[in-house]
């Protein structure tokens, strides 16, 4: 299932596996001036390639290696002959078989391993220059693309919402905050976030700052409760009223406990 919308000169391509005529989980890619940023999941790969067939696409960038961003890589490369680039830390992971939990297999599916090239510091199209900025936190090997003249930031998964309630165990909120601060400090008049969850946030700096303040507040609360002798499960109950329902749905991967453990390490 594919839906598209346009914001300024950017086409957003939202994709989801379809079950019984309903979308399972939307992810977004972006097409601008012949550059495709991210490639959706394997379940929508054929539909994406068919959609792109009559359009001007010259190169592809993956913001990171996760299966909902690289799913169409293999046929984009073999069928359309496109060069694909990814952050250095993601290149070897995209080139090898993914290990997925059952929920990931059901929602996004296994991407075929694909040889991709390391991202250069700058990506050029006919009319735009995109700076590549490393933004670890959500994962290793994560980067965003920023078109400074237009104030566009294609932010991958470094930001999804201002107030997160659960994260995966490998996410690092200290690194995420540092990456967000790096984006806020960019010398651009405006900062529009084009996120992989489909949100286009026109006041990106405000949204990032709200998220930073929220995480810093969570960190302070969690540390205070920990200093009182409470363990992580007890801190979760105090702060969130218990574990989030997503924990069971995602085989224990997206949990509030993971968020608490990560914010406890912030500033250490």
pLDDT in tens, 250-263: 989 999 999 999 99
Is the model's pLDDT at 267 over the cut of 90? no
pLDDT (mean) for 129-156: 98
pLDDT (mean) for 192-203: 98
What confidence score (pLDDT) does residue 246 get? Answer: 87
**pLDDT digits over 216-225, tens only?**
999 999 999 9
**pLDDT digits over 66-77, tens only?**
999 999 999 999
Give residue 24's pLDDT band: very low, low, confident or very high (50, 70, 90).
very high
Domain borders along the chain are 2-204
Is the model's pLDDT at 177 over the cut of 80? yes
**Could you confirm whether domain 2-204 is CATH 3.40.50.300?**
no
Q: What is the 3-state secondary structure (H, E, C) of the chain?
A: CEEEEEECCEEEEEECCEECCEECCCEEEEEECCEEECCCCHHHHHHHHHHHCCCCCCEEECCCCCHHHHCCHHHHHHCCCCEEEECCCCHHHHCCCCCCCHHHHHHCCCCCCCCCEECCCEEECCCCEEEEEECCCCCCCCEEEEECCCCEEEEECCCCCCCCCCECCCCCHHHHHHHHHHHHCCCCCCCEEEECCCCEECCHHHHHHHHHHHHHHHHHHHHHHHHCCCCHHHHHHHHHCCCCCHHHHCCCCCEHHHHHHHHHHCCC
What confidence score (pLDDT) does residue 54 get? Answer: 86
Is the model's pLDDT at 268 over the cut of 80? no
What confidence score (pLDDT) does residue 32 get? Answer: 98
For the chain, what is the radius of gyration of the CA atoms?
19
**pLDDT digits over 58-116, tens only?**
999 999 999 999 999 999 999 999 999 999 999 999 999 999 999 999 999 999 999 99
- Mean residue pLDDT across the chain: 97
């Amino acid at each position: 299932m594919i839906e598209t919308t346009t914001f300024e000169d950017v086409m957003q391509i939202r994709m989801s596996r379809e079950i019984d005529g309903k979308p399972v989980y939307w992810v977004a890619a972006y097409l601008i001036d012949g550059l495709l940023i991210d490639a959706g999941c394997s379940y929508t790969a054929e539909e994406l390639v068919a959609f792109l067939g009559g359009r001007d696409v010259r190169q592809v960038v993956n913001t990171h290696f996760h299966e909902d961003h690289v799913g169409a890589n293999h046929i984009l490369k073999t069928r359309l002959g496109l060069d694909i680039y990814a952050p250095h830390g993601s290149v070897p992971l995209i080139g090898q078989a993914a290990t997925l939990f059952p929920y990931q297999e059901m929602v996004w599916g296994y991407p075929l391993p694909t040889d991709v090239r390391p991202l250069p510091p700058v990506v050029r199209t006919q009319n735009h220059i995109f700076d590549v900025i490393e933004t670890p936190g959500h994962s290793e090997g994560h980067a965003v693309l920023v078109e400074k003249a237009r104030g566009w930031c294609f932010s991958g998964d470094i930001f999804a919402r201002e107030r997160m309630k659960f994260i995966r165990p490998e996410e690092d909120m200290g690194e995420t905050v540092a990456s967000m601060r790096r984006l806020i400090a960019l010398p651009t008049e405006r900062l529009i976030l084009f996120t992989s969850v489909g949100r286009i946030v026109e006041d990106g700096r405000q949204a990032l700052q709200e998220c930073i303040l929220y995480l810093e507040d969570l960190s302070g609360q969690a540390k205070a409760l920990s200093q009182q002798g409470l363990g992580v499960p007890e801190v979760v109950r105090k702060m969130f009223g218990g574990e989030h329902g997503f924990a069971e749905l995602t085989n224990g991967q997206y949990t509030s406990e993971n968020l608490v453990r990560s914010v406890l390490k912030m500033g250490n």
